[in-house]
Each structure stands twice: as C-alpha cells, then as structure tokens.
C-alpha cells in the first residue's frame, strides 16, 4: 500500500462572528492515496468547502485552524504563507466552484495559464510557457487551444471555462487535485465530459483527488471512498459501495432516500415516496450538545445521542465484520446499530 498523498487529522476551523464563535469544521480526519478519489458530501453549509480551503491557507484571517494536514511529509497547517505559495498550483491543484469568478475577467486565458507555469519555473521562458499552455488546453479537450489563449473568459462557454480552470489546476502536475463543486451549474453532457477528463488525467498521473460535492449521482460514478459531513462533522465514511448500499447513519439514509430511482416501484406497483429530511441544519454558532443531527433525526435510536457526541465507530456490513468488505472500515457517528433500522428512514 503506497503512502497517502494527504493525511488530515482532527481538522478544526472556528470563526468569530457577530453571533459568537462558529464551529465550521469539527474534528475532520481522512487520507487520500495516490490515484484515489475521496468524495466529501453534504448539504450547503456543512463545512465541505471550508475544510479544503483551510488546507491551503485560503480562509479569512479571523479563521482559527487547528489539527494536522500532512502533504509530502510536511504539515500544510504549519506552513508560512511563502511556503504555501510554493505548494498551491504546484503540489496541490484546486478547481474552484465558479469558473467565471475564479478566472480574472480582464486577463486573457493565455496570461492566466502561463502565470503559474512561470511562477513555479515549470518552463524556461514565455515562449515555452505559451506552448505548454496550448498543450494543456488541448489535453482538457478545448477546441482551438491556440486561439483560446488570446480570448477572455467571457468569450467562452461555461463548460469551456471549467476546462480552463482544470487546465490551470493541472498545469503543475499536482500530486493532489481538489475539486470544489467542479461540475455545478453545468449541463449533464458537459458534466460527463468533465468527469471523464478528470478520471483520464488521474489515471495518467496517479493523482489523488478530493471531490467536494452535494451531488450523490456524481459521487456514485467517480468516488472510491465517501465522507458524509453534517454540521461541520463527519457522520459517516467508508467505501462508496458500503455507504451507498448499507448507509448506517440516519442522515446518510435520508440523503440517499431523497434520490429518485429509475425503478422506484414498491411491491404491488405502488410508487415509492421520496424521503424528505425535516427541519433545517443547525447554525454553526449554536450546535446541539450531542449528535449534530439529533434535532432532525427520524430514528432517535439512543438517548445518549441528545447529550453526547457519538464517535465514528465501525458499523455492521452484509458480512457482519464491520470492515467494509476490505481494508477501508465503514464507520458512522452513532451509538446504535442504524444499519439494522435502515428501513425506517427509507434507505
């Protein structure tokens, strides 16, 4: 087993707000192996994007970040700004949510692509940088890559801009790619092309990928492992097969139960009703003392959940060994056997 590209342990992010201290991320831990895709899923406001932006020092100054995030033997959270600049775009590439706002509207595509190549000394001069930039655009499937170098972001479609952002993220041959809602607002055809592109480039370069999304359909097609976040905490993790086929936490069960299925009939020909999770997520300034999902939980299988934070523990699988069917454990933050009661919440 190769060494992980990234190992995150007990990541915590807090911010001071007008309403008090907000716990945005609380005790997140995971690792990413070379060539592996780890998906982080959850509702808006669950802390997904903040958790990855904290790794690269991209949060506001009032954010207080603790824990460890070891990349290539060094802790990203202990690096100074100058050291982080050497990592951003070189060792770690990041695809942000909206390509129109992450690209500079007054600079050409070529200028924005060559900037990182020259800054990280990946090329010997501007001419070589331009050739490399054209090759990168060709690699991501952009039509007329040389002509695109002299165009501005507003002259490209949404799918083309997303390809440019991915090309920029991959320009330094990163060992780790972070994709934050990389296919949001794209039509399904372009989305499929982007997913195929990332998978192909990942296979060629053995790049580890952290994919941030709320789209469970995307997760099912690309991920090796899944982390489910709610209220800034990981409530379940495991292989994509374990989490999707045997969800153990009521929140995960609710998310999967809300997805429409192609064959969604119950016995007798009745249509299965989609499951809705009642209530709203708690504000990060006023999290409940126990399980963060307790106020909305339809099961409430153990009273301790109301007052104590349940730790991530191994849960039963089809084989009953709690191992997730392989080397990756299937864990859920619960005091009871939620897998046994999956039928109660429509999983």
Contact yes or no for 147/120 (Cβ under 8 A): no
pLDDT of residue 342: 44
How far apart, in Å, are the Cα atoms of 326 and each of 151, 214, 225, 330?
49, 26, 12, 9
Average pLDDT over residues 46-73: 94
**How many residues make up the chain in this entry?**
347
228 inside domain: no
Residue 346: is its pLDDT beyond 70?
no
Question: What is the overall mean pLDDT for the chain?
Answer: 85
Residue 338: is its pLDDT beyond 70?
no
40 inside domain: yes
Residues 136 and 175 in one domain: yes
Report the DSSP pairing between strands 225-230 and 233-239.
Answer: antiparallel
Give one word for 170, left, alpha or beta, with left for phi > 0 and alpha for psi -120 to 50: alpha
Residues 334 and 281 in one domain: yes
92 inside domain: yes
The pLDDT tens digits of the residues spanning 297-320 come to 888 767 788 889 898 999 864 433
231 inside domain: no
64 inside domain: yes
What CATH code is carried by the domain that includes residue 81?
Answer: 3.40.50.300
Q: For 2-13, b where at least 16 C-beta lie within 10 A, e where not — what string?
A: eebbbbbeebbb
| Whole-prediction pTM | 0.86
Average pLDDT over residues 145-150: 95
Domain termination residue (choose one: 164, 188, 223) = 223
Average pLDDT over residues 2-12: 93
323 inside domain: yes
Band of residue 336 on the pLDDT scale cut at 50, 70, 90 = low
Residues 107 and 160 in one domain: yes
pLDDT of residue 271: 64
Average pLDDT over residues 55-65: 93
pLDDT of residue 337: 58
Q: Which two tokens stand for residue 210?
A: 């952290």
Residues 257 and 219 in one domain: no
Number of domains in the chain: 2
The pLDDT tens digits of the residues spanning 14-57 come to 998 888 899 999 999 999 999 999 999 998 889 999 999 999 99
Domain termination residue (choose one: 223, 255, 276) = 223
Contact yes or no for 200/177 (Cβ under 8 A): no
Residues 38 and 136 in one domain: yes
Which positions ≥6 away from 212 have C-beta within 8 Å? 39, 40, 48, 49, 52, 178, 179, 180, 181
319 inside domain: yes
Residues 78 and 175 in one domain: yes
Contact yes or no for 24/50 (Cβ under 8 A): yes
pLDDT of residue 77: 96
Residues 189 and 271 in one domain: no
pLDDT of residue 339: 43
3-state DSSP assignment of residue 269: coil
> 252 lies in which domain range?
247-345
Residues 37 and 125 in one domain: yes
Residues 209 and 283 in one domain: no
Residue 200: is its pLDDT beyond 90?
no
The pLDDT tens digits of the residues spanning 259-302 come to 776 665 555 556 667 778 888 888 999 999 889 999 998 887 67
The pLDDT tens digits of the residues spanning 175-198 come to 999 999 887 767 787 778 778 878
Band of residue 148 on the pLDDT scale cut at 50, 70, 90 = very high
211 inside domain: yes
Residues 194 and 335 in one domain: no
CA atoms 46, 48, 49, 52: torsion sign: positive
Residue 153: is its pLDDT beyond 90?
yes
Residue 331: is its pLDDT beyond 90?
yes
Residues 219 and 257 in one domain: no
pLDDT of residue 143: 87
pLDDT of residue 268: 58
Contact yes or no for 169/89 (Cβ under 8 A): yes
The pLDDT tens digits of the residues spanning 75-125 come to 999 999 999 988 988 889 999 887 778 899 999 999 999 988 888 777 888
Residues 141 and 188 in one domain: yes
pLDDT of residue 264: 54
């Amino acid at each position: 087993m190769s060494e992980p590209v990234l190992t995150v342990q007990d990541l915590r992010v807090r911010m001071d707000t007008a309403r008090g201290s907000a716990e945005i991320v609380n005790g997140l831990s995971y690792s990413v192996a070379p060539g592996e895709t780890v998906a982080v899923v959850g509702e808006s406001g669950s802390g997904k994007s903040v958790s990855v932006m904290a790794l690269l020092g991209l949060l506001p100054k009032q954010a207080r970040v603790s824990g460890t995030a070891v990349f290539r033997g060094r802790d990203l959270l202990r690096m100074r700004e100058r050291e982080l600049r050497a990592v951003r775009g070189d060792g770690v590439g990041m695809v942000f949510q909206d390509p129109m706002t992450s690209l500079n509207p007054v600079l050409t595509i070529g200028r924005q692509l060559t900037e990182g190549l020259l800054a990280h000394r990946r090329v010997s001069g501007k001419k070589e940088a331009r050739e490399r930039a054209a090759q990168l655009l060709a690699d991501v499937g952009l039509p007329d890559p040389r002509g695109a170098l002299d165009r501005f972001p507003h002259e490209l479609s949404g799918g083309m801009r997303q390809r440019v952002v991915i090309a920029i993220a991959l320009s330094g041959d990163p060992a780790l790619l972070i994709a934050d809602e990389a296919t949001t607002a794209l039509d399904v055809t372009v989305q499929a092309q982007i997913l195929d592109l990332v998978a192909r480039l990942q296979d060629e370069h053995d790049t580890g990928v952290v994919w941030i999304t709320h789209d469970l359909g995307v997760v099912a097609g690309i991920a090796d492992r899944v982390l489910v976040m709610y209220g800034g905490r990981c409530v379940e993790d495991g292989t994509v097969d374990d989490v999707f086929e045997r969800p153990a936490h009521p929140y995960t069960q609710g998310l999967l139960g809300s997805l429409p299925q192609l064959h969604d009939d119950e016995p007798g020909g009745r249509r299965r009703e989609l499951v809705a999770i009642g209530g709203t997520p708690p504000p990060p300034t006023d999290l409940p003392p126990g399980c963060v999902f307790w106020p909305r939980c339809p099961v409430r299988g153990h009273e301790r959940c109301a007052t104590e934070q349940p730790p991530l523990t191994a849960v039963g699988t089809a084989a009953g060994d709690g191992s997730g069917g392989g080397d990756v454990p299937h864990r859920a933050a619960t005091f009871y056997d939620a897998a046994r009661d999956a039928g109660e919440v429509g999983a």
